Amino acid sequence: MIGNPKIAKLTVSGLAFGYAEQMVQHDVSFEVKTGSIFAVMGVSGCGKSTLLKALIGLLRPSTGSVRFDETNYWSLDDRGREEMGRRFGVLFQGAALWSSMTAEENVALPLEMMLSKLPKAAIDRLVQVKLSLVGLIAGRKARPADLSGGMRQRVGLARALSLDPEILFLDEPSTGLDPISAKRFDDLIVELRDGLGITIVMVSHELPSLFGICDDGIFLDAETQTAIAHGSPKLLRETCVHPTVRAFMNRAQPAEKTNGNGHVAQ
Ligand SMILES: Nc1ncnc2c1ncn2[C@@H]1O[C@H](COP(=O)(O)OP(=O)(O)OP(=O)(O)O)[C@@H](O)[C@H]1O
Ligand SMILES: [Mg+2]
């Protein structure tokens, strides 16, 4: 693992956030260590995606602070926030690709916007590097509608990686994927963390991903509108007594096909 895992990359303190007509969560505090994979968990509608919006600058929290490397993001001016934002990569829920653009055009877009002085050949080269990082060179000329769900998520991931982020925010990256594609996607996330030292904040409902790759996490509750548990998904499964967390962690997982040696068939 690259970086110092003891140092917090992201520190969230007393955060309250919501929309004009509705408060979503309040008093949310947690710390994401450098080079860790941090899970944001909770039932549908509890505010996971809204929390990500408050972390990446799309929604101003009503109170509390979000610190990256100790800098208070929401106390920066517009320019400071924009500069800080270049250090984030985001894979939105459902990948949110531009449907009229090919995979490579989707990945090129942030580069063209942020590095407008770079010649086209250099941008093309960077796009190829990012697509090969996620194993998607073959599908680079295809439009999102012609790609599988797993490939679309990979394009979204390549786009999120386009500006070499220090921290990646992934909103349900493997939801809707078959178990094998989901496992491959999880392996890719771990490779990015181990190989590039990227810190990862991941919203997920997928138990194999949560138990398989997440080091730490937070569980948001829709009813009380705050965090009701902190810790790695495995630890929460074993020790958390809150009925909502228990129901979430202990729901039945789909049976995996094994090859007789206890390994998942590929
Ligand atoms: N743009 C918006 N304007 C107003 N309310 C919103 C907006 N987006 C989400 N909400 C509401 O905020 C609450 C939290 O929504 P959010 O999308 O953050 O939940 P979530 O935990 O990500 O859910 P899911 O697991 O289904 O993706 C919900 O009640 C939702 O209806
Ligand atoms: Mg969501």
Share of the chain above pLDDT 70, in %: 92
In a domain, 184, yes or no: yes
**How far is the C-alpha of 105 from the C-alpha of 29, rounded, in Å?**
38
Compute the distance from residue 243 Cα to the ligand 2 centre, in Å.
22
In a domain, 64, yes or no: no
Counting ligand 1 atoms within 8 A of each CB, the residue from 15, 17, 49 with the most, and so the one to mutate, is 49
In a domain, 142, yes or no: yes
In a domain, 18, yes or no: no
Q: Which residues contact 10 (CB under 8 A, 6 or more apart)?
A: 31, 32, 55, 66, 67, 68, 167, 199, 201
**How far is the C-alpha of 127 from the C-alpha of 109, rounded, in Å?**
10
N residues, the chain: 266
Compute the distance from residue 48 Cα to the ligand 1 centre, in Å.
8
Q: How many helices (H) and strands (E) would you count in the chain?
A: 9, 10
Q: Give residue 132's domain range.
A: 35-58+79-249
Compute the distance from residue 91 Cα to the ligand 2 centre, in Å.
12
Q: Which ligand is nearest to the CA of 44?
A: 1
**How far is the C-alpha of 167 from the C-alpha of 169, rounded, in Å?**
7
- Half-sphere exposure at residue 240, Cβ-oriented, CA atoms within 13 angstroms: 23
Residue located nearest, by CA, to atom 26 of ligand 1: 44
Please identify which residue in the block is written with the tokens 């902190």. Answer: 230
Pocket residues for ligand 1 (CB within 6 Å)? 19, 22, 24, 42, 44-50, 93
In a domain, 87, yes or no: yes
Q: Which of 62-76, 209-223, 239-253 has the lowest mean pLDDT?
A: 239-253
- Reply yes or no on whether the pLDDT at 152 is more than 50: yes
Please name the amino acid found at residue 132. S
Average pLDDT of span 16-41 = 96
Greater model confidence, 5 or 8? 8
Compute the distance from residue 53 Cα to the ligand 2 centre, in Å.
10
- Report how many domains make up the chain: 1
Task: Check which CATH number belongs to the domain holding 183 and give it.
Answer: 3.40.50.300
**How far is the C-alpha of 199 from the C-alpha of 202, rounded, in Å?**
10
